[in-house]
């Protein structure tokens, strides 16, 4: 079966700017894919069934988002074919890394090819938003500034380059809905931050100051889970040029220019955590 890599993402910047009547939140964020990925083997079958198996990190029971992605395409275009999906789960679940959304986007793109649908990227993004707010980004990939609920995307040059990402997931579950409920929306709407506007307007290299990036979730999550803030501070103290929590947590990443500093920082991280270093 063809093998596809489903990269995870980090949020370099994340501000919540409002709440819509349907319950979704409006935001401004900068997504960047990094090369930590789930692996998906998928092929088409003629019996019309969608078959799904997984290995690796345990996935909670329930209909997996990969199945939902395949069903959307089948139902939308009256496809008689089915598919066989084997997901090798490497990205921690519920960690703010978008692993499930990436898996869904990868299935949409793979079946678009395998079933000969010839759908444009824009059409796949419209289908993807039905599965989750982050899915359109993974259709596009790379690095993007996003507004709306995350679906209005502008591709930009990667913000973090020529270095290394040290990713730390401390096995702490942060309830995303609870994190949203505890945001002070009046504060986030009224605060001004020009770095996002600078990134959004530019498709070429610009000088972005790392200390101007914000994650609005950090204030609440750090208050509830001091261990996560400790990890961020440890990465900065050990030579990271930039560190932040991704999404609503609980993963934290540090960006290092110096490989030796990265290795020293990695050696000091609790070995009971999920820890991964990648080059960007």
Q: Is the pLDDT assigned to residue 190 strictly greater than 60?
A: no
- Catalytic, 263? Answer no
Whole-number mean pLDDT of the chain?
A: 91
Q: Are 174 and 225 in contact (CB under 8 A)?
A: yes
pLDDT of residue 99: 96
- Catalytic, 266? Answer no
Residue with tokens 């290995």: 55
Question: Using 50, 70 and 90 to split pLDDT, how confident is the model at 189?
Answer: low
Identify which of 237, 231, 232, 229 has the alpha carbon closest to the alpha carbon of residue 261. 237
Q: Is the pLDDT assigned to residue 200 strictly greater than 90?
A: no
Q: How many whole angstroms separate alpha carbon 270 and alpha carbon 233?
A: 14
pLDDT of residue 271: 84
Question: Using 50, 70 and 90 to split pLDDT, how confident is the model at 146?
Answer: very high
Q: 221-251 pLDDT, tens per residue?
A: 999 999 999 999 999 999 999 999 999 989 9
Question: Using 50, 70 and 90 to split pLDDT, how confident is the model at 203?
Answer: low
What percentage of the chain has pLDDT greater than the value 70? 94
Q: 51-110 pLDDT, tens per residue?
A: 999 999 999 888 999 999 999 999 999 999 999 999 999 999 989 999 999 999 999 999
The single residue of 9, 109, 140, 266 carrying the catalytic annotation is 9
pLDDT of residue 21: 85
Q: Is the pLDDT assigned to residue 268 strictly greater than 90?
A: no
Q: Is the pLDDT assigned to residue 131 strictly greater than 70?
A: yes
Instruction: Give the contacts of 59 (CB within 8 A, at least 6 positions apart).
Output: 87, 89, 93
pLDDT of residue 206: 54
Write out the two tokens for 77. Answer: 């275009």
Give me Rg for the CA atoms of the chain.
Answer: 19
Cis peptide before 219 (omega within 30 of 0): no
The single residue of 134, 238, 261, 266 carrying the catalytic annotation is 134
pLDDT of residue 205: 52
| Dihedrals phi, psi of 51, to nearest 5 degrees | -105, 135
Q: 118-130 pLDDT, tens per residue?
A: 999 999 999 999 9
- Kindly list the distances between the CA atom of residue 246 and the CA atoms of 37, 54, 82, 133, in Å, as whole numbers in the listed order: 16, 25, 35, 15
pLDDT of residue 176: 85
Q: Is the pLDDT assigned to residue 188 strictly greater than 80?
A: no
Instruction: Give the contacts of 91 (CB within 8 A, at least 6 positions apart).
Output: 6, 8, 36, 37, 38, 57, 97, 99, 102
pLDDT of residue 183: 83
Instruction: Give the contacts of 257 (CB within 8 A, at least 6 positions apart).
Output: 162, 163, 164, 241
Question: Using 50, 70 and 90 to split pLDDT, how confident is the model at 185?
Answer: low
The DSSP bridge pattern shows strands 164-169 and 252-256 to be: antiparallel
Q: Which stretch of 2-6, 35-39, 179-183, 256-260 has the lowest confidence by average pLDDT?
A: 179-183
Structural domains for the chain: 3-155 (3.30.230.10), 164-279 (3.30.70.890)
- Which residue would you say has higher pLDDT here, 271 or 11? 11
Q: 6-52 pLDDT, tens per residue?
A: 999 999 999 998 888 887 889 999 999 999 999 999 999 999 999 99
């Amino acid at each position: 079966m063809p093998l596809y890599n489903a990269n995870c993402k980090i949020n370099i910047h994340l501000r919540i700017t409002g709440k819509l009547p349907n319950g979704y939140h409006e935001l401004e964020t900068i997504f960047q894919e990094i090369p930590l990925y789930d692996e998906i083997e998928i092929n088409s079958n003629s019996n019309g069934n969608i078959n799904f198996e997984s290995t690796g990190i345990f996935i909670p029971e329930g209909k997996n988002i990969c199945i939902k992605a395949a069903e959307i395409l089948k139902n939308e275009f009256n496809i008689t074919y089915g598919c066989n999906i084997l997901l090798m789960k490497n990205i921690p679940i519920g960690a703010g890394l978008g692993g499930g959304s990436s898996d869904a986007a990868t299935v949409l793109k793979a079946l678009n090819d395998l079933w000969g649908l010839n759908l444009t990227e824009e059409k796949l993004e419209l289908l993807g938003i039905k599965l989750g707010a982050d899915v359109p980004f993974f259709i596009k990939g790379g690095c993007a500034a996003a507004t709306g609920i995350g679906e209005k995307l502008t591709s930009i040059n990667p913000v973090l380059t020529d270095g290394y990402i040290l990713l730390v997931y401390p096995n702490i579950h942060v309830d995303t809905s609870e994190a949203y409920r505890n945001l002070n929306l009046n504060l986030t709407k009224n605060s001004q931050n020009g770095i996002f506007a600078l990134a959004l307007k530019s498709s070429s290299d610009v000088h972005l100051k790392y200390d101007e990036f914000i994650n609005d979730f950090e204030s609440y999550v750090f208050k509830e889970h001091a261990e996560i803030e400790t990890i961020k501070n440890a990465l900065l103290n050990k030579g990271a040029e930039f560190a932040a929590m991704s999404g609503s947590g609980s993963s934290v990443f540090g960006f290092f220019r110096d490989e030796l500093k990265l290795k020293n920082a990695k050696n000091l991280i609790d070995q009971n955590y999920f820890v991964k270093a990648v080059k960007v």
